[in-house]
Amino acid sequence: MSQHTLGEPAVVIKHLLDGMGKFGASDLHLKVGYIPTYRVGGHLRKLDMPKIPNSDFVRDMMIPLVPESRKGEYNERGDLDFSYGEPTGDRYRINVFRSGNDMNAAIRRVQSKIPNFQELNLPRVYEKICKISYDGLVLISGVTGSGKSSTLAAMLNHINKERSAHVITIEDPVEYRFIPDKCIISQREVGIDIPSYAEALRYVVRQDPDIILIGEMRDRDTMIAALQAAETGHLVFGTLHCSDARQSFNRILEFFPRVEHAFIRSSLANSLRGICVQRLLPGIEEGSRFPATEVLLNNSIVRDKIRKEEDKDLPAIINQSTEEGMRSFTHSLAELIENESVHYDTAMEFAPNREALASKVKGIQTATEGLV
């Protein structure tokens, strides 16, 4: 692209979207007064092109991509989330937002091919959860950009290949498009197919689902609907914005007044199947990223701790129950170092307990030296 002129907005956005696949960019940032910027391997990279001149230029790039039925929402709210698909099968999750009265955009490229567990470098316990769970609640937690959507897609697609089920997803927006295999899959997008999560969840159990995927647990009504569905024989998958398993409980309880916590804890103790938390780390190989994972599985001890509000004991239970498939971030980070996937210093930056990680790595090195 020329360094001197951006060209027509429709041509520019097409080149920028095409370039995401070419350069392996996960995200594209468009902001007035800034050079368009890709995120590659977790790092921001400015493109060799001029700055975006004004808000009208961004608007002319974005408006043709917005679904017709949602074009008024940005003007009303100053923020709009939607998905966009190319005829080639490439898909993008797009957020346009107002800042300083200018339109800006953050665009995430969604791989057209749904990745499997091996491609995502996820531990085998994720596959185990899919095989043993026929009802209950499975939560995928992590901060923004930690790969929750990809993990959720991999888990659902694994089930799609393994057993017959009627699946209904409620997403905002739809990212991965599933190709039915053994499952019947209906994907519903908030703002296009239904007005809100709450509205979709109000009637979802009447649609005879076996599995319900909720793109994001974002409020009390969504959480209540998920728990009720999980307790009545449905398998429910959902995501939470949390940094570890223990915090996931705090996040859920924040949706409810204190007088309801005992009821919610009882419901979670009965219906929860597992919490999988992940953080993406830059790998040794440039552009690569690897997930550090923490997995809590619900067993009799965990159920008792949930009911008694003894969440502080959960990290110790995770550490003591590795044979069941549970794993801590410390264990996962040590594995990544041992496998030469990430640098030691990088793992230390992400470690919740640096002393524990240093001790774990030293123990592995000592054991390895003893085998020589």
What is residue 174's predicted lDDT score, i.e. its pLDDT?
Answer: 87
Residue 151 pLDDT: 96
d(CA 188, CA 8): 34
Supply the pLDDT for residue 70: 86
Mean pLDDT of 77-105: 89
Q: Tokens for 52?
A: 């975006």
- Per the model's pLDDT, the better-predicted residue between 326 and 70 turns out to be 326
pLDDT beyond 90 at 69 = no
Q: How far apart are CA 57 and CA 6, in angstroms?
A: 10
pLDDT of res. 225: 93
Q: Supply the pLDDT for residue 371.
A: 42
- Check: CB of residue 26 under 8 Å from CB of residue 39: yes
pLDDT of residue 5: 66
Averaged pLDDT for residues 86-98: 87
154-208, pLDDT tens digit by residue? Answer: 999 999 999 999 999 999 888 888 999 999 999 998 888 988 888 899 889 999 9
Q: Say which CATH topology domain 125-327 has.
A: Rossmann fold (3.40.50)
Q: Residue 368 has what pLDDT?
A: 53
- Answer whether residue 16 shows pLDDT above 90: yes
Contact (CB, 8 A) for 302 and 296: yes
pLDDT value at residue 88: 73
The DSSP element (H or E) to which 324 belongs, if any, is none
What confidence category does residue 94 fall into, taking pLDDT thresholds of 50, 70 and 90? Answer: very high
Q: State what percent of residues in the chain have pLDDT above 90.
A: 75
Q: Give residue 178's pLDDT.
A: 94
Buried-state track 278-306, b at ≥16 Cβ within 10 A, e below 16: bbbbbbeeeeebbbbbbbbbbeeebbebb
Identify whether the C-beta of residue 26 lies closer than 8 Å to the C-beta of residue 78.
no
Select, from the ranges 84-88, 108-112, 267-271, the one with the highest average predicted confidence (pLDDT).
Answer: 267-271
Phi, then psi, of 105 in degrees rounded to 5: -145, 145
Q: Which residue has the higher pLDDT, 245 or 90?
A: 245
87 vs 161 pLDDT, higher one: 161
Could you read off the pLDDT of 41-68 as tens digits, one per residue?
888 999 999 999 999 999 999 999 998 8
Enter the CATH code of domain 9-110. Answer: 3.30.450.90
**Residue 204: which residues within 8 A CB-CB, separation 6 or more?**
168, 170, 212, 225, 229
333-372 per-position pLDDT tens digit: 999 999 999 999 999 999 999 999 999 998 766 655 554 4
Q: Domain residues of the chain, as ranges? A: 9-110, 125-327
Q: What is the pLDDT of residues 121-144, one digit of tens each?
A: 999 999 999 999 999 999 999 998
- Residue 302's pLDDT is what? 96
State the pLDDT at residue 173. 83
Q: What is the pLDDT of residue 52?
A: 94
Backbone angles phi, psi at 339, to 5 degrees: -85, 0
The candidate with the shortest Cα–Cα distance to 333, out of 317, 315, 354, 316, is 354
Beta strand residue intervals within the chain, DSSP E: 25-30, 37-40, 43-46, 79-85, 91-99, 102-110, 136-141, 166-171, 184-189, 211-214, 235-240, 272-282, 289-297
pLDDT in tens, 233-260: 999 999 999 999 999 999 999 999 999 9
Judged against a pLDDT cut of 50, whether residue 3 lies above it is answered with: no
Q: How far out from the chain centre does Cα 229 lie?
A: 21
pLDDT at 219 over 60: yes
